[in-house]
Amino acid sequence: MDQTLRDEKPSLWHDQRAIALLLAASLTTMANATISPALAGLQTLFADHPHSALLIPLLVSAPSLTVVLFAPLAGFFTDRLGRRWMLLAGVLLFALSGTAGSFLTDLDMIFGSRLVLGIAVAMIMTSQTALVGDYFTGDKRVALTGLQISARNFGGFLFISLAGWLAVFSPKFPFAIYGLAALFLPIMWIAIHEPTKSRKSADPSNPAANGGASNWVFLIALLTLLQMSTNMLFFIMPTQLPFFLDMLGYESAVMTGVTLGALTLSGGFMALTYGRIKKAFGFRATYVVAYGLMALGFISVSQGQVFTLLIAGAVAIGAGFALAMPGFVAIALQLTPQNRRGIVGGALTTAIFLGQFLSPLITTPSISALGYESTFLGAALILAVLAVSGAASQGFDRYRQIRKAL
């Protein structure tokens, strides 16, 4: 029977397809920050390299650059050639390129392997998004988008913690963590089947015939712009927080770990409840709460000299971000024709990593001109405007419904 149409009554936790997709989601968090604990050791190891001061910090962000460039192409081929092979090939390439740093002896080659890793992440994330839309509908699809964010958060916390422990023994050891992808590959091979309906329909030019909105291109463009902006604001935390804490006189390495740990775990736990929250309140009200929490979080973090406010702010930002992110995928899958889900998955993936890439480029000049506190409060203001706009829109719709009923 067609995998897309078979009975979906069993819970997601009993569906091998859902488990495989959650494993794939957990891998994507490894791409960047997993090797962060090894950077100091790598700097010592490659001290003789003439460009080590530039290349070693870029080892963390290099995958993001190739994700931005290759995600649209990966989405195109996902729609044309199939979801399954793209996911499996991406996971295999992820394992090979990710672990390369553990045995390569040349820094330039390690940097090159990090760029290839970004291509693998683009393949995984675009095919994964398309498969969620192909396999699941309704509440199950929404719940799975939340669980994917949870898998990324908990996976990131686990992998970075493990990398920190391994880096004590050798700066090369954290690269071995990427080998976990090879262990996941047999599970995905068995669980993931090509959905027959993911191929081109009889009339691919008609969005309605493929389950999409007639103006889906315009709506997806707005959605990806909002997603990019949300990621850009969120990434103020991992990119600027260590310097802010150092300025305040904290032991920055320890406090950064504690604060970002609180942010990651709060997001992981909140994402577990996303399906129930969205079902109870709807997309718009969920976004109002999400952006409201993030706004309050940045206000609290701006008062970082008070430890409790700092941690409370990180918890609020992590929880709000976890409520915001699943909706982008769920809404996009509702709007997009079935035979275009791969390219839209590529657009969403590009938006995520482009937001990460732009965040320090935009906030660093702001911090230089206005300071950390004003920059954090500026982020809070933008998020508050988004929350109020969503609440006003929902209130206006409710008013129109009441007027119509009268």
What is the average pLDDT across 158-179? 87
pLDDT in tens, 178-193: 999 999 999 999 999 9
Query: At 207, is the pLDDT very low, low, confident or very high (cuts 50, 70, 90)?
Result: very low
User: Two tokens at 100?
Assistant: 């390369």
1-15, 78-92, 329-343: which has the minimum mean pLDDT?
A: 1-15
The pLDDT > 70 percentage for the chain reads: 91
Above 90 in pLDDT, residue 21? yes
DSSP 3-state helix, strand, coil percentages of the chain (rounded to 5)?
A: 85, 0, 15
Above 70 in pLDDT, residue 203? no
Q: What is the pLDDT of residue 94?
A: 96
Question: Dihedrals φ, ψ of 10, to 5°?
Answer: -60, 150
Say if CB 84 and CB 189 are below 8 A apart. Answer: no
Residue with more model confidence, 221 or 62: 221
Above 70 in pLDDT, residue 199? no
Q: What is the largest CA-CA distance in the chain?
A: 78
Q: pTM for this one? A: 0.82
Angstrom distance (rounded) from CA 222 to CA 215? 11
Which bin fits 206, alpha (ψ -120 to 50), beta or left (φ > 0)? Answer: beta
What is the average pLDDT across 108-121? 94
Domains along the chain? 11-199 (1.20.1250.20), 215-406 (1.20.1250.20)
User: Two tokens at 29?
Assistant: 């968090």
Say if CB 159 and CB 172 are below 8 A apart. Answer: no
60-64, 228-232, 325-329, 347-351: which has the minimum mean pLDDT?
A: 60-64
pLDDT in tens, 343-359: 998 999 999 989 888 88
Angstrom distance (rounded) from CA 129 to CA 137? 13
Residue 77: CB atoms within 10 Å:
18
